[in-house]
Structure 1
Amino acid sequence: MPLVHISLRVGKPEMYRQAIFDGLYRAMHETFNVPEDDQFMTITEHDAVNFRYSASYLAVDRSDDLVYVQITANNTRTVEQKKLLFRRIVELLGENPGIRPQDVFVNLVEVAKENWSLGDGVAQYA
């Protein structure tokens, strides 16, 4: 049950943002076995003064099209699955909406299954 937060600079059209949602869900479905109806994602847009990044940290050439993706998920995936997820996200977001690989920044936050309540005040996975 991943929860995805996406941050990017303001100004991208709706189709661009929807393509990010679609690509991220597809990558998680393919690599993390996320079920068909498991889509919980938000996009937050920031003006330039509220969006900071290093243009060259670790020799990655980033641009103002940088997209931050933070995925909170159960701590049940292997290192290989995580590598596949990162690679697949870059591939799919490159295809549509056309984001350069250097502009896809992904952070995976792993939590124990009992740390979720998906509604009704119930810990569904505990």
Structure 2
Amino acid sequence: MPLVRINLTKDASPEAVRAISDTVYEAMINVANVPQHDKFQIITRHALDELVYPADGYLGISYSPGIVFIQVTWNAGRTIDVKKAFYKAVADGIHAKAGVRKEDIWISLTDVAKENWSFGNGEMQYAPKE
């Protein structure tokens, strides 16, 4: 049930965008046990002045104009180890497939309850069982 938002520079090639999108989806399936075909993503390209990050770095990590912000909202319940493995799979995969520096792959996870989703028809598909 994830919703993924990917924000990156407008200069990213279509091939890089596709590689980033596919890598996040593959990591969700292979690492986080997300069902196949559950691929909902919003990809937004930005001018350089619209991607704001600390010029001096943060926590010992330096960033470049090639930074990619990835926000994932998904169901709560995954362990710390699964989340760590997800971060690693995404960073390694994007670096290998799109050439983005691992330092520039910034990820935020938001855990929500299953009842916080509607996949259409104005219905709560995963309503709690009564």
Superposition TM-score, scaled by structure 1 size: 0.96
1: distance between equivalents of 2:76 and 2:34? 13
Aligned to 1:78: 79
Alignment of 1:22-101 (within 5 A): 22-55=22-55, 56-101=57-102
| Alpha-carbon displacement from aligned partner over 1:13-37 (angstroms, at most 9, x marks no partner) | 1111001111000111111111221
Alpha-carbon offset, residue 97 of structure 1? 0.6
Counterpart code for 2:62:
D
2: distance between equivalents of 1:91 and 1:51? 22
Secondary structure of 2:7 counterpart: strand
Aligned to 1:17: 17
Alpha-carbon offset, residue 49 of structure 1? 2.0
Alpha-carbon offset, residue 121 of structure 1? 0.7
Alpha-carbon offset, residue 9 of structure 1? 1.2
| Alpha-carbon displacement from aligned partner over 1:76-119 (angstroms, at most 9, x marks no partner) | 21111111100110110011111111000000011111000011
Task: Give aligned-pair identity as a percent.
Answer: 39
Counterpart code for 1:91:
D
Over the aligned positions, Cα root-mean-square deviation in angstroms equals 0.8
Superposition TM-score, scaled by structure 2 size: 0.94
- Structure 1 runs (4+) deviating above 3 angstroms are none
| Alpha-carbon displacement from aligned partner over 1:28-52 (angstroms, at most 9, x marks no partner) | 1111111221100111111122221
* Long gaps (5+) in structure 1: none
* Long gaps (5+) in structure 2: none
2: distance between equivalents of 1:53 and 1:12? 18
Counterpart code for 2:52:
R
Aligned to 2:105: 104
